[in-house]
Amino acid sequence: MGKIKNSAKSSDFIEKYGIEMIFVEGGTFTMGATPEQDDDCDDEKPVHQVTISSFYIGKYPITQEQWIAIMNDNPSHFEGENLPVEMVNWEDVQKFIHLLNEQTGKQYSLPTEAEWEFAARGGNKSKGYRYSGSNSIDDVAWYEDNSDDITHTVGSKAPNELGIHDMSGNVWEWCNDWFGVYSASAQINPKGPESGSSRVLRGGGWSSRALVCRVAHRIILTPELRYSRPGLRILLKINH
């Protein structure tokens, strides 16, 4: 697996390590416990309207090769260049993004919960699926019933309506938000509470039940503790 110095040029990094981004056109959607999520919802209520500005989001979760290129280490339990990095806490992820921004001259970040869910649902091309890209979870996700209890090469399941892979299953993905209870009020580009004790993760993972791989499902973890399940996907804002 490759390593690069902090002085690497943006074009060199992107060409060598291939962080592919998908454009997500802004729009308005209903966030939370929408009907196709059935009765499995808990912290996903009340449903509410959210308007999101356009952005770019990773086509895949960050791979171990990409993580090593920036961080010069690999915390993952399941090792492989094209496997998603895992066992990273929220603070590890902030260090990765800071160094990535230094090397590329860009302003990558984690997605907010709202940005993540809008992308997972297929943005303005959404067909209203329960999972990201399908109502049949086996088509789009590695989860407890098909993963053999390991992670898998990113992009090896079908993409969603926007061409984004693995937003259901494979690894949980950190969001930028502190956890907060939903409001019924319509919102524009919500960022979550200003403070808290736990950060939000989305998407489910290789060891997850199907119901937690739904596009609306959310869990919380303490940001400084390291767990076996989390990985990440990066977002790039569009400057106007």
Residue 130: give its domain's CATH number: 3.90.1580.10
The stretches of the chain forming alpha helices (DSSP H) are: 10-17, 64-71, 90-104, 113-120, 137-140
pLDDT reading at 6 higher than 50: no
Picking from 64, 40, 240, 14, the residue whose alpha carbon sits closest to that of residue 137 is: 40
2 domain residue, yes or no? no
Note whether 221 and 201 are within 8 A (CB).
yes
4 domain residue, yes or no? no
> How does pLDDT run across 218-239, given as a tens digit for each residue?
999 999 988 888 999 999 998 7
DSSP 3-state assignment of 142? coil
Q: What is the mean pLDDT of residues 114-132?
A: 98
- Domain of residue 22 covers 10-237
d(CA 24, CA 85): 24
Cα distances (angstroms) measured from residue 178 to each of 4, 65, 190, 223: 32, 28, 11, 9
1 domain residue, yes or no? no
d(CA 140, CA 176): 24
38 domain residue, yes or no? yes
pLDDT reading at 115 higher than 90: yes
174 domain residue, yes or no? yes
Picking from 187, 203, 189, 177, the residue whose alpha carbon sits closest to that of residue 237 is: 189
- pLDDT averaged over every residue in the chain: 92
pLDDT reading at 15 higher than 90: no
pLDDT reported for residue 152: 98
In this predicted structure, which of 2-6, 28-32, 86-90, 146-150 has the lowest mean pLDDT? 2-6
Q: What is the mean pLDDT of residues 58-83?
A: 96
Note whether 122 and 57 are within 8 A (CB).
no
195: exposed, middle or buried (Cβ count in 10 Å: 0-12, 13-18, 19+): exposed
> Most confidently modeled of 13-17, 38-42, 145-149?
145-149
pTM of the prediction? 0.94
Cα distances (angstroms) measured from residue 40 to each of 61, 79, 138, 210, 215: 26, 33, 19, 11, 12
Give the total number of structural domains in the chain: 1
pLDDT reported for residue 60: 97
pLDDT reported for residue 39: 79
d(CA 12, CA 46): 45
